[in-house]
Amino acid sequence: MLSRDEKREIRMKITDLLDQHCRSCPNGKEHHKNVCLGCSVLSQIQCLSKQLFDKNNNSEKVLGVVKTGKFTEDEDLYLMNHISHFDVDHISKRLGRTTRSVNVRLNYLKQFKNIVS
């Protein structure tokens, strides 16, 4: 998983490539779909951006994919340890689950696992 600083570095590299090459490109006024396909700068930008959205980097949460199915032990622990510090909306976003599913799981844990919030 990339740290915040590593992600910032990647974004800065992408910005630098755009500033140095794409703004001064002679084909700048052309339609980008046709012109940029063969560009080496585009392939560098795509390679860098893939690092930001790697599957091992929990990008599914960033891209809006919601998990379904049973909660894992790690998710239960996260929920139990953070419910006293954060609201359910925040926790649901961090877990990549709907607010309703987090509420249902929280009620289950309160009832059967005797957690206190």
**What one-letter code names the amino acid at 74?**
D
Residue 14: which pLDDT band, with cuts at 50, 70 and 90? confident
**What one-letter code names the amino acid at 104?**
V
How do the domains of the chain map onto residue ranges?
4-58, 73-112
The reported pLDDT for the residue numbered 59 is: 43
pLDDT tens digits, 31-62? 665 667 677 887 788 888 888 876 554 444 44
Residue 102: which pLDDT band, with cuts at 50, 70 and 90? very high
Q: Is the pLDDT of residue 15 over 80?
A: yes
The reported pLDDT for the residue numbered 111 is: 87
